[in-house]
């Protein structure tokens, strides 16, 4: 099948799905989501495929989430997009085959939600991870909020979702968001290696393991369903997404003070986190005087222990022998 927004390739037991919108940092629109769902389902149904690789075209981004230049505008459009989004998530989680996210560059917003849904993540050093929801008046309810605590832990998940920071590839690896990081020019070889290892395992064994590991988080499906409906209503009727998206399109900081009774920091002022704490100055290394001879402190002479003279006890003088007298 011919696709417009993605590339789909199969061979040697692997299906590779590439979001092919590099000019938009691989941001997805409704058509992209539709094609991703179809390709993922095709890979699931193909018995010759044992592992799926999901990636983004170019070097700059894996995926940066929804394309704000081509947004859905009505509640009906939103709901249709969310129906297709469920199809993509189900095609990843219910695939029965390991799905690997191969990341170079930005992996932000809905792109990071795709990453969290995948079974494994391999990243080049250029990988940069994070969410965007609260920055634009929304929340990552397409499995982002639901799965993040089980991936990185409760406290770290709340940091990611509340502070909306970005993390480099090695930070993401340390928190469990990424399995392994290598230099970008070694990423293809690493993906080949992991795919090769997976393909040397039992297909049914892998399927059963994936089903079992998904059991607990499958119970979160209703939270995703309800969450996406709330997102649709919020985006269409809520004032905060309008401010967030407008600020992004106009390349200015969003002003959330209007929703907090005028309270909060001036969006034009830099955040405190940007200022950073000054590091203590390093102590300068002592310079050697030119031409000075290196002197070594002489060790104090060890005190000589008095040597005790060896004394030999004198044997007592032998008594003189008594002479016998003849009678």
- What percent of the chain shows pLDDT beyond 90? 76
The CA–CA distances, whole Å, from 169 to 28, 132, 176, 291 equal 22, 17, 11, 48
Phi first, then psi, for residue 307 (nearest 5°) are: -90, 120
Grade residue 323 by pLDDT with cuts at 50, 70 and 90. very low
Among residues 132, 94, 147, the alpha carbon closest in space to that of 254 is found at: 132
Q: How many domains in the chain?
A: 1
The residue with greater pLDDT, 313 or 199, is: 199
Q: How confident is the model at residue 201 (pLDDT cuts 50, 70, 90)?
A: very high
Find all residues with CB under 8 Å of 310, minimum gap 6, and list them. Answer: none
Is 31 contained in some domain? yes
Q: How far is CA 213 from CA 72, 98, 208, in A?
A: 34, 12, 9
Residue 281, in any domain of the structure:
no
- What's the whole-number average pLDDT of the chain? 88
Residues 116-135: pLDDT tens digits?
Answer: 999 999 999 999 999 999 99
Digit-coded pLDDT (tens) for 234-258:
989 999 999 998 998 899 999 999 9
User: What CATH code is carried by the domain that includes residue 44?
Assistant: 3.90.226.10
pLDDT-derived band at 299, boundaries 50, 70, 90: low
- Tell me the mean pLDDT in the region 18-44: 97
**Which distant-in-sequence residues (6+ apart) come within 8 Å of 308 by Cβ?**
none
In a domain, 262, yes or no: no
Range of the domain at 100: 6-237
Whether the pTM exceeds 0.75: the reply is yes
Does residue 211 sit within a domain? yes
The pLDDT of residue 326 is above 70: no
Instruction: Answer yes or no: is 111 within a domain.
Output: yes
pLDDT at site 249: 86
The answer as to whether 327 is a domain residue is no
pLDDT band of residue 322 (cuts 50, 70, 90) is very low
Sign of the dihedral through C-alpha 263, 267, 270, 272: positive
Looking at residue 203, its pLDDT comes to 98
Q: Is residue 186, in this structure, part of any structural domain at all?
A: yes
At 19, which helix (H) or strand (E)? strand 14-19
Q: Is residue 181 part of a domain?
A: yes
């Amino acid at each position: 099948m011919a696709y417009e927004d993605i590339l789909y390739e199969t061979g040697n037991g692997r299906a590779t799905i590439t979001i092919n919108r590099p000019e938009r940092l691989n941001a997805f629109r409704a058509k992209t989501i539709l094609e991703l769902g179809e390709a993922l389902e095709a890979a699931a149904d193909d018995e010759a495929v044992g592992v799926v690789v999901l990636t983004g075209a170019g070097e700059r981004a894996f995926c940066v989430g929804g394309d704000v230049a081509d947004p859905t505008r009505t509640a009906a459009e939103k709901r249709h997009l969310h129906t297709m989004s469920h199809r993509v998530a189900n095609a990843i989680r219910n695939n029965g085959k390991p799905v690997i996210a191969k990341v170079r560059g930005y992996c932000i917003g809905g792109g990071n939600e795709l990453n969290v849904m995948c079974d494994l993540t391999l990243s080049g050093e250029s990988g940069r991870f994070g969410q965007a929801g609260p920055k634009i008046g929304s929340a990552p309810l397409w499995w982002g909020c639901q799965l993040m605590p089980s991936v990185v832990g409760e406290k770290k998940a709340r940091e990611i979702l509340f502070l909306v920071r970005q993390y480099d590839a090695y930070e993401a690896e340390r928190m469990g968001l990424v399995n392994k990081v290598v230099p970008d020019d070694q990423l293809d070889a690493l993906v080949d290696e992991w795919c090769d290892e997976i393909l040397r395992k039992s297909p049914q064994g892998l399927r059963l393991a994936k089903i079992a590991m998904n059991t607990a988080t499958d119970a979160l499906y209703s939270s995703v369903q309800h969450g996406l409906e709330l997102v649709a209503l919020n985006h269409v009727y809520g004032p905060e997404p309008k401010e967030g998206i407008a600020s992004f399109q106009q390349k200015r900081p969003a002003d959330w003070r209007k929703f907090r009774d005028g309270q909060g920091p001036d969006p034009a002022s830099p955040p405190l986190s940007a200022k950073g704490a000054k590091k203590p100055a390093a102590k300068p290394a002592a310079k050697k005087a030119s031409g000075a001879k290196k002197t070594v402190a002489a060790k104090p002479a060890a005190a000589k222990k008095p040597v005790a003279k060896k004394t030999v006890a004198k044997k007592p003088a032998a008594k003189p022998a008594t002479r016998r007298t003849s009678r």
